[in-house]
Amino acid sequence: MIILFNGPPACGKDHAADFFKAKGYKHLSFKYRLYEETIKYFNVDKEWFMDRYENRDLKEVRCQDLGHMSCREAMIYVSEKVIKPRMGLDYFGKLVADEIDLTKDYAISDGGFIDELLPVVEKVGKENFRLVQLTREGHDFSSDSRRYFDGNITKEYVLNHATSIEKKYVLPHKFDVQSYRIHNNSTVEDFNGALKEIFENEININVIRSNNMQLKKEEIQSALHAGVCSVTFTKVNGDERVMAATLKAELLPAVVEKVLAEGETPPAPKKPNPNVLAVYDVDNAGWRSFRWDSIKAFQAG
* Percent of the chain's residues with pLDDT above 90: 65
Are the C-beta atoms of 28 and 106 separated by less than 8 Å? yes
What's the pLDDT tens digit per position in 198-239? 998 887 655 545 555 565 788 888 889 989 999 888 887 778
* CA dist., res. 260 & res. 258, Å (int): 6
At what angle are helices 30-42 and 91-99 packed, to 10 degrees?
A: 120
**Counting beta carbons within 10 angstroms of the beta carbon of residue 194, is it exposed (0 to 12), middle (13 to 18) or buried (19 or more)?**
buried
* Average pLDDT of the residues in 34-59: 94
What phi and psi, each to the nearest 5 degrees, are found at residue 85?
A: -65, -30
Q: Are 7 and 140 in contact (CB under 8 A)?
A: no
Question: In sequence order, which residues have a C-beta less than 8 Å from that of residue 131 and are 6 or more positions away?
Answer: 4, 6, 149, 151, 175, 177, 178, 179, 180
Put simply, whether the predicted model's pTM sits higher than 0.85 gets the answer no
Gap between the Cα atoms of 194 and 191, Å rounded: 5
- What is the structure's pLDDT at 216? 75
> How far apart (Å, rounded) are the C-alpha atoms in residues 44 and 37?
11
The confidence score (pLDDT) of residue 1 equals 87
Predicted confidence at residue 209, as pLDDT, reads 55
Report helix, strand or coil for 36.
Answer: helix
Look over the chain and give the mean of its residue pLDDT values, rounded to a whole number.
89
Query: Exposure pattern of 249-273 as b/e (b: 16+ CB <10 Å)?
Result: eeeeeeeeeeeeeeeeeeeeeeeee
**For the chain, how big is the Rg over CA atoms in Å?**
25
Reported in sequence order, the residue ranges of 198-285 that DSSP labels E, i.e. its strands, are 229-234, 240-246, 276-281
| Tens-place pLDDT, residues 150-182 | 999 999 999 999 999 999 999 999 998 999 999
pLDDT confidence of 265, banded at 50, 70, 90?
confident
Q: Is the pLDDT of residue 147 over 90?
A: yes
For each of the domains in the chain, give its residue range(s) and CATH number, in order of start. 2-214 (3.40.50), 227-299 (no CATH)
Provide the H-helix boundaries in 135-187.
Answer: none
The predicted pLDDT at position 273 comes to 78
What is the predicted pLDDT for the residue at 208? 47
Reported as a single tens digit per residue, the pLDDT across 96-145 is 999 998 888 899 999 999 999 999 999 888 888 999 999 999 999 998 88
Specify the pairing of strand 2-6 against strand 26-28. unpaired
